[in-house]
A and B are shown apart, each in its own frame.
Chain A
């Protein structure tokens, strides 16, 4: 087939990008080469709209072993141990085919982690659906949950935490972000940088089929009414093969055969081979007839662009082929020497003894387009004036009932019960808490992880929203007693070609950067997903932040369930009564405008560190951060989980009760302490200038507020637990 500009445009390339390709090659590319360019230069692989802004994120720190640019980030957790982790989106495929889309998202991120030599020890996910009333939502939710479970459960990796939200902006474009943590010895980390000439290039794993061709290009375009036609671009997952691949790779990695290893994810063999060559400043030569194929008569174009799952590319030391083959034979996986490294600095492909591709690697990587897209700055919206009369008419009990059973607050047990969260025998905090926690097997240490996003805040004011998500991730780790170390981010946005959406991206990234810098909570890995929109409408900006922290002595881990009657509950951080953009404002007042709560990074850091100090001194019996829904929602969850009540006395001279109980001011936590420790605790808080209030005293059952409002724990439980199960039944 003769290549021309129209064919290039059909491949998702822009007209000037095609011209640039011809110019750089000094000729017209053939169809295979055009396919390779389209795979490498699409938004998903090249980060062409985001690179400029991502550069500004803080990525370094004392604990950072590997920042962005590898398969995943790596942090130091002492004693020679390291955690490899990353979050990645699989939004577009999951909307087209929820089960396979979500499953292969989970498979892909686990591969990113074990490619680096780490055994996956925990999975998390952040999933966002359209309005519950939308006709597709139920099936999408069911399919995604089954897909995540289907893959993760079979792999035997516990899914320990997650986040689910519903918002009509996702009606035509759901979000599925999957995160994995792996454990590795610091001196056994594997990278994707090829080195040395004439080293054998090995293909292992599943055979290559025609599935997923153009998957990455599909993920780089908006949806329209022809979306169903794109089903063949969705990959099909095989967790069993991935489990074998995991064990085989780890077995091979225990020796010294591997020079470089890279999984075949988006853009398959194309991006994996080019990345390895590019990082090593080498050339690579592949005989495509040697690639194990599942189907007959596959063309070079199809082989290079297939996104068949569960495949890896390895550069081996010379002479290690037999050792490696033995291992893959044992696990019944395909193994083929398909090429070698060269000094040509070209990628050269052969098929039926003919050269079908010859492109200088640097053209594909360093010369890939980078855009400084136009973007629009957001103004901070004006505060709403909420009339006191409106608030006074509301009964606390009615409001709490509505908010606790709201789809974005209620218990997600229906979801996480379908995920194996206890396999591997080290899960010490299950889903439903502030963070999931797994022990580092055989040690006294544990790793905490949480995934968060606040699309509503980001939509109202991206800069504040970006900061807030990082702060919330930080608080969720602190609440379980973990010292926050680093984050990974999955940036889900609309079209970068629209100034509004691009502005949301730029300012969210700026907010994330500011907060992570201030909190010394660097970004070590991540991914960008643009074009999350259907026709002209983009989703609410949704950066998901995956935070990871370390608990040095797992016996000191904190959970949110109230522990003991007569203990005191303190509020850490000041309640100012910020109602705009709260769940209360949206669901009760139907008010969607106004600024999100302000994020004061000094207070975040100070309050968080002070709580860690109290936890270390063993004063804290339970803790929970106050986020979506506000104070009363936070204490309700603590009561429900601990099966205890609380007597709350709010002094009358403060703000209106509704504002007090349902505002979403940041930087706040609830902590439970022993009465006798009050003096010592307040001494420490005072010394650190941390604002606190005595909130209430723990009782056997019932939440009682100022003697006049009374709710039983059973009532609270039924509000909190019934919505999702009922919706899905």
Chain B
């Protein structure tokens, strides 16, 4: 299976994503933001980091970079596009997924393990996963997901909510919400479920010596689903 990870100036989880994808059997290529064309891919990943320094609204500059037109076309034709952290912010800025990402509620960067509950397994990302609650890792300053009431109704009606912040038992409550996200939303899909944006970093959970191994489950499953 072929994957592509886009490197924007200021991306800093691009290598980690490359390592993770390769570890679980993807043939991954790094793609420069200034390129015009995506290589042939089964999966495109927008990695975490601070694209263009994120001095404007996070992800807004990157969403206008050269390669993104090609990524948008790929997504619109049904290709799998996953945005992690800054990648999620970029996806929101392109309009591929609805809503916005605001600054964390307590105005502080936050780096820690969190639990997330899967809401929808009818998609290439989570289908066949034998767990409903995953332990993931977050590291961000702007992960406070927000959308209008109408949008919220729409994404609920379309089952677009991918994961919620919860506790280890899967309880979705305010106290387990690390950043103030509306309804504890940690990740969402586009309508067609081929585009996924999420704040947690599965690529940091791929080895027993790291923060955990639920990232391994995620990537293995993803590869099997794409095959």
Specify which of B9, B48, B209 is in contact with A244 (CB 8 Å cutoff): B9
Residues of A within 8 Å of B10, CB to CB, are 154, 240, 243-244
11 CB contacts below 8 A, A to B, read: A146-B109, A241-B53, A243-B9, A331-B9, A417-B111, A418-B109, A422-B139, A425-B19, A425-B204, A428-B210, A439-B209
Q: How far is the CA of A425 from the CA of B219 in the complex (A)?
A: 15
Given contact pairs A154-B10, A240-B55, A555-B209, A424 touches B15 in the complex (Cβ within 8 A): yes
The smallest beta-carbon distance between B102 and chain A, in angstroms, is 17
**B52: interface (CB < 8 Å):** yes
- The distance in angstroms between the C-alpha atoms of A154 and B13, with both chains bound, is 10
Partner of A417, one of B12, B110, B201, B206: B110
What's the minimum C-beta distance from B226 to chain A, rounded to whole angstroms?
22
- Most chain B C-beta atoms within 10 Å of own C-beta, residue among A155, A156, A332: A156
CB distance from A644 to the nearest CB of B (A): 19
Q: Does A88 contact B (CB under 8 A)?
A: no
Q: Shortest Cβ distance from A426 into chain B, in angstroms?
A: 8
Closest residue of chain A to B50 (Cβ to Cβ) is: A154
CA distance A146 to B103 in the complex (A): 14
Contacts of A332 in B (CB 8 A): 9
The bracket for how many chain B residues form the interface is 20 to 34
What residues of A have a CB within 8 angstroms of the CB of B54 in the complex? Answer: 154, 240
How near does chain A come to B14, taking the closest CB pair, in angstroms?
Answer: 9
- Rounded to whole Å, the gap between the CB of A239 and the closest CB of chain B is 7
Tell me if B93 counts as interface (CB < 8 A to partner A). no
Tell me the A315-372 residues at the B interface (CB within 8 Å): 331-332
Find out whether the CB atom of B139 lies under 8 angstroms from the CB atom of A420: yes
Q: Is the CB–CB distance between A422 and B111 below 8 Å?
A: yes
- Asked if B12 and A423 sit within 8 Å, CB to CB, the answer is yes
What residue of chain B has the Cβ atom nearest to residue A244's Cβ?
Answer: B9
A residues sitting closer than 8 Å to B (CB atoms) are: 146, 149-150, 153-156, 238-241, 243-244, 331-332, 416-425, 427-428, 439, 554-555
- B49 contacts which chain A residues (CB < 8 A)? 156
Q: Is the CB of A238 within 8 A of B53?
A: yes
User: In the bound complex, what is the Cα–Cα distance between A244 and B211 (angstroms)?
Assistant: 28
Report the nearest A residue to B110, measured CB to CB. Answer: A417
For the complex with contacts A156-B49, A422-B137, A422-B211, 15 further pairs of A-B residues with Cβ separation under 8 Å are: A150-B109, A153-B141, A154-B10, A240-B50, A240-B53, A240-B54, A241-B53, A243-B9, A244-B9, A244-B10, A417-B110, A418-B108, A423-B12, A425-B19, A425-B206
Q: Is the CB of B50 within 8 A of A243?
A: yes
- Pairwise interchain contact A421-B111, C-beta atoms closer than 8 A: yes
Return chain B residues, CB-CB under 8 Å to A555: 209
Q: Which residues on A sit within 8 Å (CB–CB) of B53? A: 154, 238-241
Query: Which residue of chain A lies nearest to B17 when distances are taken between CB atoms in the complex?
Result: A425
Max chain B Cβ within 10 angstroms of own Cβ: one of A153, A416, A419, A420? A420
* Bound: A423/B211 CA distance, A: 11
Query: In the complex, which residues of chain B have a beta carbon less than 8 angstroms from the beta carbon of A439?
Result: 209
Interface check B203, CB cutoff 8 A = yes
Given contact pairs A332-B9, A423-B139, A149 touches B16 in the complex (Cβ within 8 A): no
When C-beta atoms are compared, the residue in chain B nearest to A442 turns out to be B19
Bound-complex Cα distance A240 to B10 (A): 6
Closest residue of chain A to B106 (Cβ to Cβ) is A729
Decide if A425 touches B109 in the complex (CB within 8 Å): no
Query: Beta-carbon contacts of B196-227 to A below 8 Å, as 1s and 0s?
Result: 00000101101101110000000000000000
B131 is an interface residue with CB less than 8 A from chain A = no
In the bound complex, CA of A156 to CA of B209 (Å): 20
The answer for the CA separation of A420 and B112 in the assembled complex, in Å, is 9
The 8 closest A-B pairs by CB, nearest first: A156-B12, A240-B53, A425-B16, A154-B50, A420-B139, A428-B209, A418-B109, A422-B204
Q: Once bound together, how far apart are the Cα atoms of A439 and B137, in whole Å?
A: 18
Q: Known contacts being A149-B109, A154-B50, A418-B111, is A425 close to B12, with CB within 8 Å?
A: no
Query: B29: shortest Cβ distance to chain A, in Å?
Result: 18
CA distance A156 to B10 in the complex (A): 9
| Known A239-B50, A422-B139, A427-B210; contact A156-B13, beta-carbon cutoff 8 A | yes
**Could you list which residues of chain B lie within 8 angstroms of chain A, going by C-beta atoms?**
9-10, 12-13, 15-16, 19-20, 48-50, 52-55, 108-112, 137, 139, 141, 201, 203-204, 206-207, 209-211
Pick from A241, A243, A417: contact of B112, CB under 8 Å? A417
Which of chain A's residues have a CB closer than 8 A to the CB of B12? 154-156, 243, 423
- Chain A residues with CB under 8 Å of B207's CB are 425
CB <8 Å contact, A240 and B16: no
Docked complex Cα distance between A150 and B141 (Å): 9
Give min CB distance, A609 to chain B, whole Å: 26
**Distance of A239 Cα from B51 Cα, bound (Å):** 11
Taking a contact as CB atoms closer than 8 A, the residue among B9, B19, B109, B211 that contacts A153 in the complex is: B109
Report the minimal beta-carbon distance from A555 to chain B, rounded to whole angstroms.
7
CA separation between A420 and B88, bound complex, in Å? 18
Chain A residues with CB under 8 Å of B139's CB are 153, 420, 422-423
Cα distance A405–B204 when bound, in Å? 32
Inter-chain contact A423/B16, CB cutoff 8 Å: yes
Partner of B9, one of A240, A418, A428: A240
Measured between beta carbons, the chain A residues less than 8 angstroms from B112 are 417
Chain B residues with CB under 8 Å of A149's CB are 109
Contact A554-B209, Cβ < 8 Å, known A149-B109, A240-B55, A243-B10? yes
- Say whether A418 contacts B110, CB under 8 Å: yes
User: What is the minimal beta-carbon distance from B38 to any residue of chain A, in angstroms?
Assistant: 19
Separation in Å of the A650 CB from the closest CB of chain B? 36
Q: What residue in chain A is nearest B9 (Cβ atoms)?
A: A244
B-side contacts of A146, CB under 8 Å: 108-109
Give Cα A711–Cα B117 distance, bound, in whole angstroms.
35
A423 touches B13 (CB 8 A): yes
In the bound complex, residues from chain B placing their C-beta under 8 Å from that of A239 are 50, 53
Which chain B residues lie closer than 8 Å to A417 at the CB level?
Answer: 108, 110-112
A272 to chain B, nearest CB (A): 24
**A422 touching B52 by the CB < 8 A rule?**
no
**Known contacts A154-B53, A244-B9, A332-B9: A422-B210 contact under CB 8 Å:** yes
In angstroms, Cα B209 to Cα A241, docked, is: 32
Q: Look across to chain A and name the residue whose beta carbon is closest to the beta carbon of B107.
A: A146
Contacts of A428 in B (CB 8 A): 209-210
Given the complex, which residues of A lie within 8 Å of B201, measured CB to CB? 422
- Which residues of B have CB within 8 Å of A155? 12
Chain A residues with CB under 8 Å of B15's CB are 424
> Contact between B50 and A424 (Cβ–Cβ < 8 Å)?
no
Within 8 Å CB of A243, what residues of B?
A: 9-10, 12, 50
Closest CB in chain A relative to B134 CB, distance in Å: 16
Min distance, Cβ B6 to any Cβ of chain A, angstroms = 15
Residues on the A chain within 8 Å of B19, using CB: 425
A631→B10 CA distance, assembly (Å): 46
Q: In the bound complex, how far is the Cα of B17 from the Cα of A424, in angstroms?
A: 9
Given the complex of chains A and B, what is the CA–CA distance between A223 and B207 in angstroms? 50
Question: Judging by beta carbons under 8 Å apart, are B108 and A425 in contact?
Answer: no
Q: Which residues of A contact B110 (CB under 8 A)?
A: 417-418
Q: Which residue of A lies closest to B203 (CB)?
A: A425
Chain A residues closer than 8 Å to B109, beta-carbon distance = 146, 149-150, 153, 418-420
CA distance A153 to B13 in the complex (A): 11
**Closest A-chain residue to B48, C-beta based?**
A423
- A488 shortest CB reach to chain B, Å: 25
Q: How far is the CB of A333 from chain B (nearest CB, A)?
A: 10
How far, in whole Å, are A238 and B53 apart by their CA atoms in the complex?
Answer: 8
Question: How near does chain B come to A657, taking the closest CB pair, in angstroms?
Answer: 37
Min CB distance A180 to B, Å, is: 15
Determine the residue in chain A with the shortest Cβ distance to B19: A425
What's the Cα separation between A506 and B9 when bound, in Å? 47
Q: How far is the CA of A421 from the CA of B109 in the complex (A)?
A: 11
| Contacting residues, chain A, for B211 (C-beta < 8 A) | 422
Smallest CB separation, B33 vs chain A (Å): 11
Given A156-B12, A428-B210, A419-B111 contact (CB < 8 Å):
yes
